[in-house]
Structure 1
């Protein structure tokens, strides 16, 4: 690790991001001056009006790109950064074009704006490739020691090995080894990963890493997540941490419900033509029911009826046994494959959100039978029911379709404990990003997120 650059890492990444933003604003300014200024009118004949509009464009583009991860050099793969920039530019430019049209009070030619977007795309690709290469040359992968039980480490190693640009697991050591040997091993590496370690050993490892300024990564438990977001209380000279454990506060529930009603109503209005076409295709394929209804769990363990477009054959569960769908499930119809791939099978859940059964953002609702199976092996799985179930969620955005129940629980608890109105907005925008990503719709080897056979 080139330690001489570590102290300047944030500054370097900020400079790299600034180059991207300045380039995009420069391209926009060129397009503005040469194609749109004279068409919009007097308010922009003067210098300050132009600069104000450039500033607004920069703020809008920076906000969207930041949310979608377009500046996360070193954390996301180069291809993901390019994808994020493409989507950010598309959203930002559409928004800016609409504002320009409203200001001009007349339709403006879209050709120059489309050409500008293509040029920005080309610049974004060059920037992403160069920036990622620069980052890798300055900050090579960290050489890491994994401290864990041998049987628990294989799954984590497999995940971390998928990011060789970030992590290099050089050695694994069993937590039951002598502590002095473990400390000697720690000294030889840039960082350590602590996974599935008992409380006493974890305390020893963290204490040693803190004393010798060694970076460590910790795979959290549920208790870690709850405590990490506790409120600090200072009533006397002994500090306290307060964990309320009540889900959302009343004002948070009000803001969340207002967002749900606005977005779901707008979504139903905009997507109604697509829903009509999908319904027609499903019916024409096998003359079966268009929708299926199924019991799912939401806040407090309440059971509600969830609506989805039917994507499987009518008798998918003719034996009466609740089963999860497989990666290449032969029960899925041709129409179902298409709508599941782009998540349009879930559009009817907009009506669930309007009714108040669900929220736009929250843990995905599980079937009561499947939840019971999870509870048998993971008793704390029901902690997810502190908030309403959601159409999308933290686990869906940050994880994958085949994320394990344990990891789903941890991710959903991170959402519950960190909830804010802005977090919901961010997750909705990030859902747009993963909408067409194949990884987000993966199944597990023999079981995926849900079975959507029609309920009797």
Structure 2
């Protein structure tokens, strides 16, 4: 089948998907809920349509070329259910009245069944006609990227991924890029990467490259025309006062709402943790903007004596015997993080920003990665780029790059996207994948050996009392 015909079929299927999900919303709210609202039913339906399409794009719910199965189903279901839930909560806050939740549940079930069938049939058709690409990795350092390019969604895109060092690439008698659709550059020196980039751009070959810290800092630059030269003006993180004011207002409103709505769950969680012995809350010193220290709050999920030997270790997952029975549950549903709503309300943290690090761990990072301080230009957050697009065991340098991506373009729209993207991450197990048993770090072992230390603790996307971020 020609690609244009295939794209047309996918486009029509997406229209059907959007129409059905919007139709079920209109039936639900027009039939059961508009009697209690003072606006025409078409208004919430129109807003829902915009909201659903925005979330589908954010969650990549129609990316059949990249995701499949459970991931697509999760993305589409969250995109359809979140607007329902927000409408319900908005009514609850405005009118202090509980609507009958049964129609909402029925609608969610109907949508879920439709989404499962949609994903099954459309993806089956897509896979039948999809032609994967031929990729080439050109590297000078290969650790990390090689493993990541073997995961399911990357393997799905390629029928072959060749690997070649930059020295081997240069010594090939024939052009290694002939027949290549996608090139990955990892750690390739600039003098070599420029030539490769020029050739790829000229020959319509897609290129993915791992940026350096300098590259990410340059992203924050603004155009400047001085002395008749094209310049980039690089400043410290300086968002506008309007942005900071609105961001703080949003922090206060959402943290207050979160505390009010989730207070019954927090009380129950605190009671269950307390029954296990020891305090319900765990406090730990962390760093925020300009290396200011504060006490982060969490529900305790490990034994009180988890660090009795004085060595901080990362959690190895469900098999870690330091985690209590209650702790395993609250970690899975992320309830251990709920007390940080009080940190946000107080102003120690914000909802979106780089995750806060322990001072002693930060000092060790600075020894081999001085640029890690650049994260501290912005206030520490509950979630951020590294938590949404990284994993539990993301390398420190990669985590820094993620955070610099966020810092380089401060905007309320980016904050909003990260908030909603975090909801999806909460349901993905790989985002909090643990490290090997007995390991004290998830960072680059080569760099750690240079430090000649065994007590090196990796900052990670999801936190706990023994080194969790």
Pairing 1:21–2:18 present: yes
Pairing 1:319–2:309 present: yes
1-side partners of 2:232 and 2:97: how far apart? 57
225 and 442 in structure 1: CA distance in 2 versus 1, 3 angstrom threshold: same
171 and 275 in structure 1: CA distance in 2 versus 1, 3 angstrom threshold: same
Aligned to 2:164, what secondary structure does the other structure show?
Answer: strand
Aligned to 1:282, what secondary structure does the other structure show?
Answer: helix
1-side partners of 2:32 and 2:420: how far apart? 29
Query: Structure 1, residues 64-113: CA drift from partner, whole Å, max 9, x if none?
Result: 33333323332333311101222222222334567899999998765555
How well do the aligned residues superpose, as a CA RMSD in angstroms? Answer: 3.3
Point out the structure with the larger helix share.
1
Moved more, 226-235 or 94-103: 94-103
2-side partners of 1:67 and 1:416: how far apart? 19
244 and 175 in structure 1: CA distance in 2 versus 1, 3 angstrom threshold: same
Aligned partners of 2:10 and 2:122 also within 8 Å: no
> 1:260 Cα shift?
1.1
Pairing 1:5–2:18 present: no
> 1:357 Cα shift?
1.1
1:339 is matched with 330
Pairing 1:160–2:129 present: no
182 and 89 in structure 1: CA distance in 2 versus 1, 3 angstrom threshold: farther
Give unmatched runs, 5+ long, in structure 1: none
Within the candidate set 20, 28, 51, 1:60 is matched to 51
Matches within 5 A, 1:374-389: 374-389=365-380
Within the candidate set 214, 218, 234, 1:223 is matched to 214
Query: Structure 1, residues 379-400: CA drift from partner, whole Å, max 9, x if none?
Result: 2122111111111111111111
Aligned partners of 1:322 and 1:370 also within 8 Å: no
> 1:177 Cα shift?
2.8
1-side partners of 2:295 and 2:346: how far apart? 11
Pairing 1:297–2:287 present: yes
Query: Structure 1, residues 254-311: CA drift from partner, whole Å, max 9, x if none?
Result: 222111111111112222222221221122112x122222111111111111111122
2:164 is matched with 173
2-side partners of 1:101 and 1:296: how far apart? 36
> 1:240 Cα shift?
2.6
Pairing 1:89–2:89 present: no
Query: Structure 1, residues 119-166: CA drift from partner, whole Å, max 9, x if none?
Result: 2222211222233334444443221111112xx325212211212112
101 and 255 in structure 1: CA distance in 2 versus 1, 3 angstrom threshold: closer
Within the candidate set 392, 410, 426, 2:383 is matched to 392
Aligned partners of 1:381 and 1:409 also within 8 Å: yes
Provide the TM-score with structure 2 as the length reference: 0.83
2-side partners of 1:356 and 1:101: how far apart? 27
Pairing 1:425–2:416 present: yes
2:273 is matched with 282
Provide the TM-score with structure 1 as the length reference: 0.86
2-side partners of 1:241 and 1:219: how far apart? 21
1-side partners of 2:27 and 2:379: how far apart? 48
2-side partners of 1:357 and 1:194: how far apart? 39
2-side partners of 1:179 and 1:210: how far apart? 18
Aligned to 1:146, what secondary structure does the other structure show?
Answer: strand
Aligned partners of 1:247 and 1:416 also within 8 Å: no
Give unmatched runs, 5+ long, in structure 2: 441-457
2-side partners of 1:332 and 1:107: how far apart? 37
Pairing 1:148–2:139 present: yes
Aligned to 2:392, what secondary structure does the other structure show?
Answer: coil
